[in-house]
Amino acid sequence: MAITAALVKELRETTGAGMMDCKKALSETDGNLDAAVDWLRTKGLAAAAKKAGRVAAEGLVSVSVDGTKGAVVELNAETDFVSRNEDFQKFVSEIANQAVAANGDLDTLKAAAFPGTSRNVEEQVTHMIATIGENMTLRRSAGLSVEKGAITSYVHSAIAPDLGKIGVLVALESEADAGVLEGLGKQIAMHIAATNPASATIEDLDPELVEREKTVLTEQAKESGRPPEIIEKMIEGRIRKYYEQVVLVEQTFVIDGENKVKTVIENAAKEAGKPITLKGFVRFELGEGIEKEDKDFAAEVAEQLNK
């Protein structure tokens, strides 16, 4: 029997298994859909469908740098235990390597061939769900690159090389010595991990955030009963303070506790004898923005026993 694309699609939707696994299952069962489902189940590949609805907010963030390109990815799983699994760690690291080649684009990454298999990255995630036994989600990916300079990375509290719960990339454009850029970039990345800035520069800051802050500050200032001209100066001063809290180059550098980050970069450029430009940064923190289910341990165990 001819294996049609529609039949493969139906089997994928029924089981949650990867496309190549579905094609093989249909080939092995002469196109019999029910038999193909059973074939996938015996191989442990149809188990992914049952797990797909479960919240995956744990997992790992991984960074990868190749020359003047770098990427950071987040692969979520259901429990923190999985992050200790060596196979899972190797899997996330390989995805990060693939993300560099994909320039951090998530759709391109998902469609990329996964090394050593006949599957793409997205299909390999489904395969790993069946293998490890937890729902997983390749949630996001981002990349940075420079023409000349350095891409540096930092992982906070790494549990393995380039793997942890907070991953940062920093892009510095410069013709300065690579060692100088690496050292500076690493320190800035550590600062970003600690402070979680909203943008690299004031110009990059979301205008909606600024307007929202101005509205709040204006209302607060009006309540003081001061004259309009004094209120305007009060708002200007408070907005400057706001920038110092959320904009990377305006923040006080956590490494020395004195200079602003932009001053640290300027001083490094003077010492290196070459201009240094901060082109951007990416910071991923595991699970940020995901609504987690609150369950007590006893209830979770009871739920597993009743399955």
pLDDT at residue 232 greater than cutoff 70? yes
Q: How far apart are CA 235 and CA 216, in angstroms?
A: 10
Domain boundaries, the chain: 5-51, 58-169+282-287
Instruction: Name 64's bridge partners.
Output: 71
Confidence of residue 176 (pLDDT cuts 50, 70, 90): very high
Question: Homologous superfamily of 5-51 in CATH?
Answer: Ubiquitin-associated (UBA) domain (1.10.8.10)
Spell out the CATH class of 58-169+282-287.
Answer: alpha beta
Q: How far apart are CA 142 and CA 162, in angstroms?
A: 15
Least confident of 12-16, 56-60, 82-86, 103-107: 12-16
Residue type, 191: H
The DSSP H or E segment spanning 300 is helix 297-305
Per-residue pLDDT, averaged over 12-32, amounts to 83
Q: For residue 3, with 0-12 CB atoms within 10 Å meaning exposed, 13-18 middle and 19 or more buried, which class applies? A: middle
Per-residue pLDDT, averaged over 145-173, amounts to 97
Tokens of 140: 């996001």
Give CA 132 to chain center in angstroms. Answer: 21
Pick from 113, 121, 155: nearest CA to 138:
121
Confidence of residue 76 (pLDDT cuts 50, 70, 90): very high
Tokens of 279: 């082109």
